[in-house]
Amino acid sequence: MNAAKERFGKADLNHVFADASNVIVAKGKKTLVFDMKKDPPSAADFAKAVLGPSGNLRAPAIRSGKTWLVGFHEEAYGEYFG
């Protein structure tokens, strides 16, 4: 998927993250970790975390297996990708 060519808004979140186990969201200097299988977040909380001010999925959004990394956080990328 290429977010530069295709936009994903609130209505698309269930489809985009349907098979996700974990979603790690960078928010400033901290990260939020959502366990989508054991403790799924409310739709409103999840949308607030992963959507930017434009109402579209924040960038970068990277899927690796069943884990998503949304937004950029150097430490989180280093922990996940080594």
pLDDT, tens digit, 9 for 90 and up, residues 18-65 = 999 999 999 888 999 999 999 999 999 999 999 999 999 998 999 999
The conformation of residue 35, written as its DSSP 8-state character, comes to: E
Count the domains in the chain: 1
> Is residue 70 situated within a structural domain?
yes
CA distance 70 to 31: 10
Q: What is the pLDDT of residue 56?
A: 94
> Is residue 43 situated within a structural domain?
yes
pLDDT exceeds 90 at position 1: no
CA distance 36 to 33: 9
pTM: 0.88
- Residues paired with 67 in a beta bridge: 22, 64
Q: Which helix (H) or strand (E) holds 76?
A: helix 74-81
Domain with 36 in it: 10-75
Q: What is the pLDDT of residue 75?
A: 85
> Is residue 48 situated within a structural domain?
yes
